[in-house]
Chain A
Amino acid sequence: MPRLHARSGRGLDYMSLELKNVSKQVQGITHVKDTSLTLHAGHFNVLLGETGSGKTSLIKLMAGLDSLASGQIILNGKDVSKLSAQKRNISLVHQFFVNYPHMSVFDNIASPLKVSGVAKSEIEGRVEEAADLLKLKPYLGRKPHELSGGQQQRTALARAIVKTSDAVFLDEPLANLDYKLREELRDQLPDLFAGRGAVVVYATSEPEEALLLGGQTALMTDGNVVQFGPTSEIYRKPKDLDAAKVFSNPPINVAPVTKQGDTVILTEGIRWQVSDTVASLQDGPYTLAIRPNHVMPVETPAHSVRLDGHVQVTELSGSESSAHFDLHGHSWVSLSPGVHPYLVGEVHSFFLDPSHCFFFAPDGQLVA
């Protein structure tokens, strides 16, 4: 376990990026609310949130492309709040494929090294190395517009890894790629940054990507980091309803329930027994949330609570089928493996797994 040893000394995992009460307003509109985070090297730090949730704004602040309204940014123990992007020693890859249009791929990758005055003999070797990692060797002589989208984004990634940055910001780098390329590049990303010692920040709007890239995840809504922690942990235990909503695709099913003794009542007729933590809660109204993959069209010992709903929309995506159904005025989604013969407009039976329900108090906090 060499990584564990590194953490204790001045090793690769020593690098850190700390935000202290950072905020940003533009013309009276809050882009980033009072945010404090400590990000470490050695794993991916994922910013997960919908479009407009402030991911890009936060990255711009961390990269020094925007000035802070308040707070401090500390990179490896050094206050960089007032430093410009040029002086922060960082890399950035945008969602759109941004390369210098009049330069060849080689010159594009070499440009951060040339600017910082690296010797010519050294540049060549390092560019070759980066190009090799990103399979760009055959294209070094081409101009960016002569490349496919995937190759253009790989060029941008090569430019980000060619210099030894303290922090690397990836702002939805795969969002504009087609599905296959996205998967391919995403599998490669962890290897690309492993052992570099840089703090890697990865913004995405897809919960699936956060789960695949692992590490730590910060959930963002409306310029707020609502929860931050190890990715699998916050997936299993969302702090509040907002966090649960951000970390679910398709959207998490939400419905008001009443808890009475050891019974949870969804509506008249849909009720089930609970024990342990839920049973020990005070009686009263709660908000129930359950991920679509825990609502199945077939009954199993675990999926025991039956919901009869009018199917409104069905979707087939690869090996999964989803159905949107109406249950007493609330829209529910079921996501299950395999192909299911749903009939739109008909009543189908769905079964939820009570052991995977989240219960939120009226103020939105997770209680069970």
Chain B
Amino acid sequence: MRLKSLVPALYILFLMLPIYWLVAMSFKTTNEILAGFSLFPQTWTFANYHEILTDPTWYWGYINSIIYVTLNTVISVLVALPAAYAFSRYSFVGDKHLFFWLLTNRMAPAAVFALPFFQLYSAVGLFDTHLAVALAHCLFNIPLAVWILEGFMSGVPKELDETAYVDGYSFPRFFATIFLPAIKSGVGVAAFFCFMFSWVEMLLSKTLTAVEAKPIAAVMTRTASSAGYELGLLAAAGTLTIIPGAIVIYFVRNYIAKGFALGRV
């Protein structure tokens, strides 16, 4: 019995260690971090957090990130909903190939697209806007959302659609008042994955922004070059970066496994 609980406990400890280390560091002074090994902060300080939350160059990084991530999530889900419905309910020429091709977009490294996006957005005047990053992230988030939503939609029997049509529902009314409520957990999971992948993506968001829409990931690299290494500040920024994801995970915690299986459980 002891051994049974010991193994998972050790595993969780192993997983949590880096996060603990990050959080512990964020409450230390940079001097203490550089001084050597200490399990707990010797002198607790909130200076790191204070600086991030008061310095606009810092907190605007978070706001910028949240703006384009939210924008991307909304666009991705709105575009993916009709696409997923089509894949789930109709068969058309090349539907299976198209469906698979969508997912292969997800497999290409973002670096491949950094240069063309940079040139394209500069040319059309989208460079350094939130919309630029949001659109760029659609490249991998829309396919993902289509796959997840298609899985959830295919779990709803086609007879539900037919019953609604016979009852007199027009398609838009059926979609909004009957179909969407029936797959709302799927919409939540799709939104979560879009949010997550857009939130952690760094290369495109850094390449496509300069000042106005600079994401937190780009701001964080700044500390390395200013007054030496401000490790405490960096740790506090890292800790704050984890929080939005943790909040979103909380809301979809019951459906997350189904989401990882792209809705096909």
Partner of B159, one of A90, A98, A101, A163: A98
Q: Which of B180-209 contact A (CB under 8 A)?
A: 181-182
Instruction: Say yes or no for A235: interface residue by CB 8 A criterion.
Output: no
Residue from B157, B166, B181, B182 within 8 A of A90 (CB atoms): B166
Candidates B157, B170, B178; contact of A100 at CB < 8 Å: B178
CB–CB A115/B167 < 8 A: yes
A40-82 contact mask (Cβ, 8 Å, vs B): 1 or 0:
0000000000000000000010011100000000000000000
Task: Kindly count the residue-residue contacts between A and B in the assembled complex, taking CB atoms under 8 Å apart.
Answer: 55
Q: Kindly supply a per-residue 1/0 record for chain B positions 157-186, scoring 1 wherever the CB is within 8 Å of any chain A CB and 0 otherwise.
A: 101101111111110010000100110000
Quick check: A85 and B166 within 8 Å, CB to CB? Answer: yes
Task: Contact check, A92 vs B157: say whether CB atoms are below 8 A apart.
Answer: no
Partner of B163, one of A64, A84, A94, A102: A94
SS class of chain B's interface: helix, strand, loop or mixed? helix
Residues of B within 8 A of A291 (CB): none
Residue contact B166 to A91, C-beta cutoff 8 Å: yes
- Do residues A115 and B163 form an inter-chain contact, with CB atoms below 8 A? no
Q: Is the CB of A94 within 8 A of B168?
A: no
On whether the beta carbons of A94 and B159 are closer than 8 Å, the reply is yes
A65 in contact with B162 given A100-B178, A101-B182 (CB within 8 Å): yes
Interface size on A, residues (CB 8 A): 24
Instruction: Kindly list chain A residues whose C-beta atoms are within 8 Å of the C-beta of B157.
Output: 96, 98
A85 touching B182 in the complex, CB below 8 Å, given contacts A112-B168, A115-B168:
no
Most buried by B among A60, A86, A90, A116: A86
Point out the residues of chain A lying under 8 angstroms from B163, CB to CB: 92, 94, 98-99, 156, 159
A81 to B164, CA, bound (A): 19
A90 to B167, CA, bound (A): 8
List the A residue with the shortest CB-CB distance to B180.
Answer: A102
Cβ of A52 to closest chain B Cβ, rounded Å:
17
Chain A residues with CB under 8 Å of B165's CB are: 64-65, 84-86
**Shortest distance in angstroms between B24's beta carbon and chain A's nearest beta carbon?**
46
| Among candidates B159, B162, B173, B182, residue contacting A115 with C-beta atoms closer than 8 Å | B173
Asked whether, in the complex, the Cβ of B160 is within 8 Å of the Cβ of A115, the reply is: no
In chain B, positions 39-96 with a C-beta closer than 8 Å to chain A are none
Q: Which residues of A contact B162 (CB under 8 A)?
A: 60, 63, 65, 85, 92, 94, 98
Is A258 in contact with chain B by the CB < 8 A criterion? no
For the side of the interface on B, what is the size category? Answer: 10 to 19
Q: Does A111 contact B (CB under 8 A)?
A: yes
Contact in complex: B170, A86 (CB < 8 Å): yes
Q: A85-122 vs B: 1/0 string, CB under 8 Å?
A: 11000111010101111100000000110011000000
- Do A102 and B182 touch (CB < 8 A)? yes
Most buried by A among B159, B166, B170, B173: B166
User: Which chain B residues (116-167) contact chain A, with CB distance < 8 Å?
Assistant: 157, 159-160, 162-167
Contacts of B167 in A (CB 8 A): 91, 111-112, 115, 159, 163
Q: How far is the CB of B249 from chain A (nearest CB, A)?
A: 24
Cα A96 to Cα B159 with chains together (Å): 8
Q: How far is the CB of B167 from chain A (nearest CB, A)?
A: 4
Residue in B160, B164, B168, B182 whose CB lies within 8 Å of A116 = B168
Which residues from A are CB-within-8-Å of B181?
101-102
For the complex, what is the distance from the CA of A112 to the CA of B163, rounded to whole Å? 10
B247 CB, min distance to chain A CBs, angstroms: 25
Q: Which residues of A contact B170 (CB under 8 A)?
A: 86
- Which chain B residues (211-245) contact chain A, with CB distance < 8 Å? none
Q: Which residues in B have their C-beta under 8 angstroms from that of A102?
A: 178, 181-182
If A101-B182, A102-B181 touch, whether A115 touches B166 (CB-CB below 8 Å) is no
Do residues A86 and B160 form an inter-chain contact, with CB atoms below 8 A?
no
Q: A65: which of B160, B166, B169, B173 is its contact (CB, 8 Å)?
A: B166
Among B159, B164, B170, the one with the most A-chain Cβ atoms within 10 Å of its Cβ is B159
Contacts A84-B165, A96-B159, A98-B157 given; 14 further ones with Cβ under 8 A?
A: A64-B165, A65-B165, A85-B165, A86-B165, A86-B166, A91-B166, A92-B166, A94-B159, A94-B162, A96-B157, A98-B160, A102-B181, A112-B167, A115-B169
Name 8 A/B residue pairs within 8 A (Cβ), A-sorted. Answer: A60-B162, A92-B162, A98-B160, A100-B164, A101-B181, A112-B168, A115-B173, A159-B167
Which A positions have Cβ atoms within 8 angstroms of B?
60, 63-65, 84-86, 90-92, 94, 96, 98-102, 111-112, 115-116, 156, 159, 163
